[in-house]
Amino acid sequence: MAKKKRVWPDWWNWEIKISSDMQKRLLKRDFTEIELRRMMEHATNFREDYKEGRWIIDTRFRRSAWQVIVEPLPDETKLEVITAYEVTDD
């Protein structure tokens, strides 16, 4: 039997806004805004973060698992990317 297709929330299709903290981390984590957007395009799952109003997006990048933290901004109809990091087994 085929897996049930994931239904994404409306905010998933909103324009992406990159937070200033995320802008700083791009260079440190060795990827570009374009690569970040590609990670978002290939996301596999989402779930609520511990911080209210934020969500964890599961994705892959360079053959590794990554998580992207986002926060929908309904007043702006934008999805702000707060941070992104590689998931390690530690």
The full set of domain ranges for the chain reads: 13-86
pTM of the model: 0.87
pLDDT at 90: 59
In percent, the amount of the chain with pLDDT more than 70 equals 93
Q: How far is CA 3 from CA 6, 34, in A?
A: 9, 30
Q: CB atoms < 10 A from the CB of 57, how many? A: 22
CATH architecture of the domain formed by 13-86: 2-Layer Sandwich (3.30)
User: pLDDT per residue over 54-72, tens digit each?
Assistant: 999 999 998 889 999 999 9
Yes or no: say if 12 and 51 are a contact pair by the CB < 8 Å rule.
Answer: no
User: pLDDT per residue over 21-40, tens digit each?
Assistant: 888 888 888 888 999 999 99
Q: How far is CA 24 from CA 9, 39, 63, 89, in A?
A: 28, 18, 23, 25
pLDDT at 5: 64
